[in-house]
Amino acid sequence: MTSSLRSLTDLALAAVFAALIIVLAFVSIPVGTAGVPIVLQNAAFILTGLVLGARRGLLTVLIFFVLGLALPVLAGGRSITAALSGPTVGYIVGYIVSTALAGLLAYHLRGNRYLALTVAAVVALASQYLCGAVGLILRADMTVGAALAAQGPFLLIDALKLAVVVLAAAAIHTALPHLLRPAASASTSSTATPGVHA
């Protein structure tokens, strides 16, 4: 695949995943004392990183954030601009961090595909929790303990979401290995192929 065609393909993939993330913003269930909702959107960011890798994942996030400056792309019908001043700003930052971490780990961990994707997904989710807790501490004047405890109601549902995300990412990588492989690794030998393609 030529570099120009691959660039267009990467942009198209990023746009598709950005649209998916936005659509999933409409699934939101408020829980907890901090008012942070259960959403599918956080899992979509992790899926994006697992499938597209860090570079294309961050391109997806860039598209999402540019649109979100004016449009209600977040759970609860909020724009990025409105969310930046609220107590959930940490989760917004966590979306960026988790996408990058999921992509880096998924494409560079060797060995079993499902194990690599699972580790990448768990680390990515943990980064969302950590960033979210920091945001609650700074914006909602919560103690460290209270901010960490606020993540509790999400553990079970997020574990279920991660299981679905890992299975979906593995299926996509299996079905479209050449389309999804980054340009840098497309020309490498099979022995140097990232774990998710094993």
Rounded CA gap, 135 and 188, in Å? 41
Tokens 């990023």 belong to which residue? 14
**What's the pLDDT score for residue 181?**
66
| Average pLDDT of the chain to the nearest whole number | 86
Q: 1-5, 88-92, 149-153: which range is least confident on average?
A: 1-5
Q: Which residues of 47-73 are buried (b: 16+ CB within 10 A; e: fewer)?
A: bbbbbbbbbbbbbbbebbeebbeeebb
- Residues 131, 91: contact at Cβ < 8 Å? yes
User: Which band of pLDDT confidence, cut at 50, 70 and 90, is reported for residue 190?
Assistant: very low
Q: 42-46, 53-57, 72-76: which range is least confident on average?
A: 72-76
Rounded CA gap, 18 and 3, in Å? 22
The residue among 122, 142, 188 whose CA lies nearest residue 33 is: 142
Q: 39-48, 62-71, 178-187: which range is least confident on average?
A: 178-187
Tell me the residue type at 68: G
pLDDT above 90: percentage of residues in the chain:
65
56 Cβ partners below 8 Å, 6+ apart? 10, 13, 14, 103, 182
Rounded CA gap, 73 and 69, in Å? 9
